[in-house]
C-alpha cells in the first residue's frame, strides 16, 4: 500500500513540475538525445494542398523537439509553374527564404500607421542563390513566375 501511495505522490509531483512552452512539454535536458536536434527528409517534397500548386514540407517543434523555445522552424516549398502562395503573415517569427531552383516574385507590405491602405510594397524577383526575409508580422506573398518548378 505504501508503494502505491509513494508512486501516486511521485506522479503528482511530476505533473506539478511539468513546464509547457508553445504548447509542448519542455524536455528534461538530461533526457535529450541527438535525435531531438535532427531531422532528415528535406530532400523530398511535401504534399501539395489541393489546387494550390504549392507543396510544403515543414520542420518545426513537432518533428524536431530541440526547436522548442528557439522561435525558429525551417521548411521546403515546391511550387508548380505560375503558382501563387497567397497573402499571409507569420505573427510569431520572421521568415527567411533561399531560392534553390527557379525564379520567384516576392513581396511584402509595410503598413502606414496612419492609413493601412497606403501600405508600402517591397518586391523583388529572386533567382537561385538569392535570399529574402519577411519580417515578423508583415503580410507577404510568393509567386512562381517561371515555366518550371521552383524550389526554396
Cα–Cα distance for residue pair 68/71, rounded to 1 Å:
7
Cell readout for 10 is 511521485
Any binding-site annotation on 10? no
Please determine, for residue 35, whether its predicted confidence score (pLDDT) is greater than 70. Answer: yes
- The C-alpha angle with vertex 59 and arms to 55 and 61, in degrees rounded to 5, equals 140
| DSSP per-residue letters across 65-129 | GGGTTT---EEEEEE-TT-EEEEE--SS--EEEE--BS-EEEEEEEEETTEEEEEEEEEEEE-TT
Is the model more confident about 127 or about 71? 127
| Contact call for residues 141 and 107 (beta carbons, < 8 A) | yes
Question: So what's the architecture of 32-151 in CATH?
Answer: Sandwich (2.60)
- Residue 22 confidence class, pLDDT cut points 50, 70, 90: low
- Which of 3-7, 36-40, 55-59, 125-129 has the lowest average pLDDT? 3-7
pLDDT mean over 39-61: 89
pTM (two decimals)? 0.77
Any binding-site annotation on 88? yes
Cell readout for 33 is 538525445
Any binding-site annotation on 83? no
Amino acid at each position: 500500500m505504501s508503494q502505491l501511495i509513494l508512486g501516486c505522490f511521485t506522479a503528482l509531483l511530476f505533473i506539478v513540475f511539468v513546464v509547457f512552452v508553445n504548447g509542448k512539454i519542455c524536455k528534461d535536458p538530461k533526457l535529450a538525445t541527438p535525435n531531438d536536434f535532427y531531422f532528415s527528409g528535406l530532400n523530398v517534397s511535401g504534399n501539395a494542398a489541393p489546387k494550390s500548386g504549392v507543396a510544403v514540407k515543414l520542420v518545426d517543434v513537432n518533428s524536431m523537439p530541440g526547436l522548442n523555445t528557439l522561435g525558429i522552424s525551417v521548411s521546403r516549398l515546391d511550387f508548380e509553374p505560375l503558382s501563387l502562395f497567397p497573402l499571409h503573415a507569420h505573427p510569431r517569427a520572421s521568415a527567411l527564404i533561399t531560392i534553390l531552383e527557379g525564379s520567384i516574385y516576392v513581396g511584402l507590405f509595410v503598413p502606414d500607421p496612419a492609413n493601412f491602405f497606403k501600405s508600402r510594397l517591397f518586391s523583388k524577383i529572386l533567382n537561385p542563390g538569392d535570399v529574402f526575409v519577411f519580417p515578423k508580422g508583415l503580410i507577404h506573398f510568393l509567386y512562381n513566375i517561371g515555366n518550371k518548378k521552383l524550389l526554396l
